[in-house]
Chains A and B, each alone.
Chain A
Amino acid sequence: MPHPVPPLQFRMIEIEGISKHFGPFRAVDGISLSVARGEVLGFLGPNGAGKSTTMKMITGFLAPSAGRISVCGFDVAQQPLEAQKRIGYLPEGAPAYHDMTPAQFLSFIAEVRGIDGEARERQIANAVKRTELASVLEQPIETLSKGFKRRVGLAQAILHDPPVLIMDEPTDGLDPNQKHTVRQLIREMASAKAIIVSTHILEEVEAMCTRAVIIDKGHLVADGPVVGRDVQFTVTRGGTQEAITAEAGRLDAVFRSLTTDEAAS
């Protein structure tokens, strides 16, 4: 069963046949997918599969070699600023200006995004509350722990309450409690947004995603909804499609079988 295509007006992210070549290397090779409001899409795949590159193209940091992307109806190549206004992005490693404090940093982001006056105060306060940053607001970011740095990146991404959220490994480097908090945050925001998260932690898929895709060597090899604790993948291989259900706790076996030459066991 192919994944049901959402109605057009709810498709917030539309990716049509994008590729990215770095010299002879095809980091992304013809990926198409669309993400609707209310969906939390988990990007799975081995390192170097093209997950981050795809995210960089959606957010306008890299230009695709082929294909097109639109976010909330705005073509990322043609109207990058309109698309970027509607995206919250947590890049890999959650980069931030280390010489600033989280308060200064969030204020800068708000200013750049054109959030003024009372709205600025309110939205910063809201992002700080949701990411539990209040205790470190006045410390330089470079002195913060990895977990806090990641949360500063998250706060920056959700500050303007964007309809589209792209997060590259949002829980990487967090302790189990922080991971739990971030997953909860993502679940809470899910209904009003289209969210893409990449992760290496397969249990996170059932914990926070409504749908998962597996990317391998630049190709999208599997796509399917999370139903209960199972992922009902439609696997595309060699031009043929087959349905594989990854039952609870078996996702890693399915992942391995799709991204290596080993058979599922």
Chain B
Amino acid sequence: MRETMAIAKRELLGYFATPLAYVFIVIFLFTMGVFTFYIGNFYQNERAELTAFFGFHPWLYLFLIPAISMRLWAEERKAGTLELLLTLPIPLYAAVLGKFLAAWAFAGLALILTFPIWITVNYLGDPDNGVIFASYIGSFLMAGAFLAIGSCVSAMTSSQVIAFVVSVVVCFLFTVAGTPIVIDVVSTIFPLAIVNAISSFSFLTHFASITAGVIDLRDLIYFLSLIALFLFATAVLIDLRKAG
């Protein structure tokens, strides 16, 4: 636990030591605003809800989250600090978890900073704050799932660009797993059971059910187990490197 916290602290310090954190947060808030107000027609809808706002989260995360996760391991590998990190007496899980928690906390901070929109909608009308709260939880969990996938991809390469591009593609597949883009293709090849299994992996489906205002245990378990799975895969990939 001590090691996990030490790693997480160092990572977070790293985000804020460079302009990265500030640039990211500004762009995150800016794009969230643009999408919600202009493309989502927040005002024209004249409804006291944040459905438009949350509806864009999966699509914005698709590009913004890999921008955080791409450096997690690729940068360490490139700079040679991976050798330093892995020869310190730290259990591997602590390094993987510490880095992930730092990235997740950072994404959480960016998400919390969107609070003015919550205030705005309460000022303009009388929204269901329970639904909004649930949606924030759902969005945070989804960000964690994106980050865990990104962590795993980053562990495979020393190039941050490759880590970014591959993460976007993998995250895209997870996002659209339940939509016709994927279903149409897989249903021509696989039997229905497999098609259903694949579509149940969709971020959109699980996120949509949370943003509807119901935090279902199944959706929680889905996101948390996805995070656990990809962090485990990250650890396996890092450990494989040992064998040369």
Contact = CB atoms under 8 A, between A and B. Distances in A.
Contact of A113 (B13, B14, B88, B91): B88
B89 A61 contact: no
A59 B2 CA distance: 21
Interface stretch (A38-46, A84-92, A230-238, A252-260): A84-92
A69 B116 CA distance: 58
Given A82-B89, A99-B14, 14 more contacts: A56-B83, A60-B87, A61-B87, A84-B89, A95-B84, A97-B10, A97-B79, A100-B14, A100-B17, A108-B6, A108-B9, A113-B88, A140-B17, A156-B84
B221 interface: no
Given A93-B80, A95-B83, A108-B10, A85 B17 contact: no
Nearest to A84: B89
B81 A95 contact: yes
Given A62-B242, A108-B6, A112-B6, A99 B87 contact: no
A168 to B, nearest CB: 10
Contacts of A111: 2, 6, 9
Contact of A61 (B2, B9, B83, B90): B83
B7 A112 contact: yes
Interface of B: 2-3, 6-7, 9-10, 13-14, 17-18, 79-81, 83-84, 86-91, 242-244
Interface in A12-66: 20-22, 56, 59-63, 65
Interface of A: 20-22, 56, 59-63, 65, 80-82, 84-85, 87, 89, 91-93, 95-100, 104, 108-109, 111-114, 140, 156
A109 B3 CA distance: 10
Contacts of A96: 81, 84
A81 B244 contact: no
Contacts of B17: 99-100, 140
B80 to A, nearest CB: 4
Contacts of A156: 84
Given A96-B84, A97-B10, A99-B17, A113 B244 contact: no
**Which residue of B13, B17, B18, B88 has the most chain A CB atoms within 10 A of its CB atom?**
B88
Please give me the 3 A-B residue pairs with the lowest Cβ-Cβ distance, nearest first: A95-B80, A84-B89, A99-B17
A22 B88 contact: no
Contacts of B243: 62-63
Given A97-B14, A99-B17, A100-B14, A87 B2 contact: no
